[in-house]
């Protein structure tokens, strides 16, 4: 097993992780193939992890199945006791894990600390309370309706908020009484090893949480297709979600999908442009734009186009891009060269399709040639058919769209295959809420309304079909049986 730094410094050595975590112990992979994990800020290999196989998945599923009856049979209070211990242990390791994510994802250290590690701690604790309060049985006329754990859960997660996304699945699944096989993103898997170590440290019963690393097309699909898996919970791209739905169909297992987005922020004509632009820059550029709920389309009144252009440009130019360990950096690099190149290609397509580049562009920010940095970018003079308006870019790129009427603003916002997040700004909160209710979106931020881990989180349309967090997040992992009583 490897070692995680106990401070926020950079480490020069390459960490080798050779084992999966299966049945409560560290098991060598069936394959000697490995996957390199890069330090996003430096563009160098920082670790290797196993490129797992179908045989590794079989072992992990067998362990999860064997552990299921005993785990499901525990009292919920005993199960959530482990979640509380995990939250405490995560808090003890907070700085070390934040440093790991700072390197493997490129999120600035302070943000890593608060969001990448702080949020999962809160989710563990909140889920414990929710699961304790939940009513698992209900009398409906002559029926006793019982909510039971669905079984063995395959959890497949992305790299952008990797520990948050993993914990948002693992915490409620464990609380519900499910056992888990988790596959983190091959791009940023190190934090998942840290979570497995936490479960090992707190003495979670063997087989209840299993970790297999590898590629989506091998390990991921083997998990999805496996007859021993009862449910797949997936966060990632819409393309992968579509494939997962198709593969899972053979075994008719439950599939919960949390997918991509292209989320709009509507500035109503009475909104304060400075407040909108500040919020928009925060919501678009957080984590270098690699945020599924990023508000990447700023929809503004045509009459105030020039004003919004000027302040959106200024807001983007005020975002300090730099080394994620430098406390002055607001955003760091993108996660990988692949992601940086994708984002640059999208910026090029915006220019080629005739949008006006207000600021940013394809060149690396000054002095940041190593690592995967991209300038905060703003486009205007866009049309709804442009790729930069329609497609998820997953980088620090904001596009401005203009409207003449409120109905047109709503139509532009809803003109997307996605529906994960949206925002509405107005001087009149009731007016913003009325517009928010007309948006096809799983979440709508009204003015500066904050992200809430107690509220259900998920998307509509091609942004997905599941709901994580809060009570709905627990219910995703429960199966319903009705006993008809005499
Ligand atoms: P991705 O779809 O490439 O990968 C996500 C995970 O799925 C990885 O673990 C990957 O190995 C696995 N995977 C890929 N193909 C698979 C397959 N055929 N079968 C099984 N598993 C497979 O996504 P990414 O690049 O890691 O993450 C970015 C995407 O995730 C963006 O589209 C973003 O919007 C989305 N996302 C959504 C949410 C949400 O809650 N809705 C949150 C974060 C990220």
pLDDT computed for residue 10 by the predictor: 46
Q: How far is CA 82 from CA 154, 199, 354, in A?
A: 20, 8, 55
* Cα gap 395→386, rounded to integer Å: 16
* Cα gap 172→454, rounded to integer Å: 12
Q: How many of the other CB atoms lie within 10 Å of CB of 337?
A: 14
Question: How far away, in angstroms, is 187 Cα from ligand 1 center?
Answer: 10
Given a contact cutoff of 8 angstroms between Cβ atoms, the answer to whether 178 and 151 are in contact is yes
- Backbone φ, ψ for residue 28 (5° rounding): -60, 145
Tell which residue, 219, 173, 168, 211, has the closest CA to residue 193. 211
Residue 211 neighbours by CB under 8 Å, 6+ apart:
20, 21, 22, 60, 181, 182, 183, 184, 192, 193, 195, 196
pLDDT computed for residue 13 by the predictor: 82
| Most ligand 1 atoms within 8 A of CB, residue of 164, 231, 236, 393 to mutate | 236
* Domains of the chain, first to last: 10-259+463-484 (3.40.605.10), 263-452 (3.40.309.10)
Given a contact cutoff of 8 angstroms between Cβ atoms, the answer to whether 418 and 292 are in contact is no
User: Quick one: angle between helices 162-176 and 190-202, nearest 10?
Assistant: 40
Per DSSP, the three-state class of 348 is helix
Residue 318 neighbours by CB under 8 Å, 6+ apart:
281
Residue numbers annotated as active site: 258, 292
pLDDT computed for residue 389 by the predictor: 98
Q: Which DSSP helix (H) or strand (E) runs through 193?
A: helix 190-202
**Ligand 1, atom 36, residue with closest C-alpha:** 236
Question: Residue 87 corresponds to which tokens in the numbers above?
Answer: 């939250």
Residue with tokens 């002055």: 328
**Ligand 1, atom 13, residue with closest C-alpha:** 216
Given a contact cutoff of 8 angstroms between Cβ atoms, the answer to whether 200 and 82 are in contact is no
pLDDT computed for residue 7 by the predictor: 41
* Cα gap 138→455, rounded to integer Å: 23
Q: How far is CA 72 from CA 65, 78, 179, 443, 475, in A?
A: 11, 11, 8, 32, 15
pLDDT computed for residue 76 by the predictor: 98
Question: How far away, in angstroms, is 90 Cα from ligand 1 center?
Answer: 24
Question: Residue 40 corresponds to which tokens in the numbers above?
Answer: 């996003």
| Most ligand 1 atoms within 8 A of CB, residue of 105, 237, 464 to mutate | 237
Q: Which DSSP helix (H) or strand (E) runs through 180?
A: strand 179-183
Given a contact cutoff of 8 angstroms between Cβ atoms, the answer to whether 308 and 379 are in contact is no
Closest atom of ligand 1 relative to the 224 alpha carbon: 20
* Cα gap 247→194, rounded to integer Å: 30
Q: How far is CA 143 from CA 137, 138, 430, 477, 486, in A?
A: 10, 8, 42, 22, 9
pLDDT computed for residue 1 by the predictor: 32
**Ligand 1, atom 34, residue with closest C-alpha:** 260
pLDDT, one tens digit for every residue, the chain (486 residues): 333 343 444 445 899 999 999 999 999 999 999 999 999 999 999 999 999 999 999 999 999 999 999 999 999 999 999 999 999 999 999 999 999 999 999 999 999 999 999 999 999 999 999 999 999 999 999 999 999 999 999 999 999 999 999 999 999 999 999 999 999 999 999 999 999 999 999 999 999 999 999 999 999 999 999 999 999 999 999 999 999 999 999 999 999 999 999 999 999 999 999 999 999 999 999 999 999 999 999 999 999 999 999 999 999 999 999 999 999 999 999 999 999 999 999 999 999 999 999 999 999 999 998 889 999 999 999 999 999 999 999 999 999 999 999 999 999 999 999 999 999 999 999 999 999 999 999 999 999 999 999 999 999 999 999 999 999 999 999 999 999 999
User: Residue 459 gets which letter from DSSP?
Assistant: -
Question: Residue 21 corresponds to which tokens in the numbers above?
Answer: 């975590």
Question: How far away, in angstroms, is 14 Cα from ligand 1 center?
Answer: 25
Question: How far away, in angstroms, is 355 Cα from ligand 1 center?
Answer: 29
pLDDT computed for residue 12 by the predictor: 54
Q: What pTM was estimated for this model as a whole?
A: 0.96
* Cα gap 349→386, rounded to integer Å: 8
């Amino acid at each position: 097993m490897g070692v995680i730094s106990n401070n926020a410094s950079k480490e020069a050595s390459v960490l080798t992780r050779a084992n999966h975590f299966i049945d409560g112990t560290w098991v060598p992979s069936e394959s000697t193939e490995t996957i390199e994990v890069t330090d996003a800020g430096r563009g160098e290999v920082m670790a290797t992890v196993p490129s797992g196989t179908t045989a590794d998945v079989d072992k992990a599923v067998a362990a999860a199945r064997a552990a299921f009856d005993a785990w499901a049979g525990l009292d919920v209070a005993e199960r959530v006791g482990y979640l509380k211990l995990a939250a405490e242990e995560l808090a003890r390791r907070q700085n070390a894990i934040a440093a790991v994510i700072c390197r493997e994802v490129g999120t600035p250290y302070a943000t890593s600390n608060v969001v990448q590690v702080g949020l999962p701690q809160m989710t563990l604790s909140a889920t414990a309370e929710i699961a304790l309060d939940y009513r698992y049985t209900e009398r409906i006329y002559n029926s006793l309706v019982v909510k039971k754990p669905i079984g063995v859960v395959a959890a497949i997660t992305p790299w952008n908020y990797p520990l948050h996304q993993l914990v948002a699945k693992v915490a409620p699944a464990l609380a519900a009484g499910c056992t888990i096989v988790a596959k983190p993103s091959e791009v940023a898997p190190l934090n998942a090893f840290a979570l497995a170590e936490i479960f090992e440290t707190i003495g979670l019963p063997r087989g209840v949480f299993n970790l297999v690393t590898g590629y989506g097309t091998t390990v991921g699909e083997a998990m999805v297709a496996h007859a021993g898996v009862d449910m797949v919970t997936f966060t990632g791209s819409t393309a992968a979600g579509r494939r997962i739905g198709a593969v899972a169909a053979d075994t008719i297992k439950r599939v919960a999908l949390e997918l991509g987005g292209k989320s709009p922020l509507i500035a109503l004509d009475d909104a304060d442009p400075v407040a909108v632009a500040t919020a928009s820059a925060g919501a678009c550029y957080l984590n270098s734009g690699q945020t599924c709920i990023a508000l990447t389309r700023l929809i503004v009144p045509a009459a105030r186009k020039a004003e919004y252009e000027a302040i959106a440009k200024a807001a983007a130019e005020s975002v300090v891009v730099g080394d994620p360990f430098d406390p002055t950096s607001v955003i760091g690099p993108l996660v990988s060269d692949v992601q940086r190149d994708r984002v640059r290609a999208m910026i090029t397509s915006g220019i080629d399709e005739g949008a006006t580049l207000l600021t940013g562009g394809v060149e690396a920010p000054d002095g940041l040639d190593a690592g995967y940095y991209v300038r905060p970018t703003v486009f205007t003079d866009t049309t709804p058919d442009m790729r930069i308006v329609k497609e998820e870019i997953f980088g620090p790129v904001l596009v401005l769209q203009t409207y003449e009427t409120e109905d047109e603003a709503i139509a532009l916002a809803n003109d997307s295959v996605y529906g994960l997040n949206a925002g509405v700004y107005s001087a009149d909160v009731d007016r913003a809420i009325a517009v928010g209710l007309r948006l096809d979106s799983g979440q709508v931020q009204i003015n500066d309304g904050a992200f809430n881990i107690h509220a259900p989180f998920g998307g509509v349309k091609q942004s997905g079909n599941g709901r994580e967090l809060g009570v709905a997040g627990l219910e995703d992992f429960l199966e319903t049986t009705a006993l008809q009583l005499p």
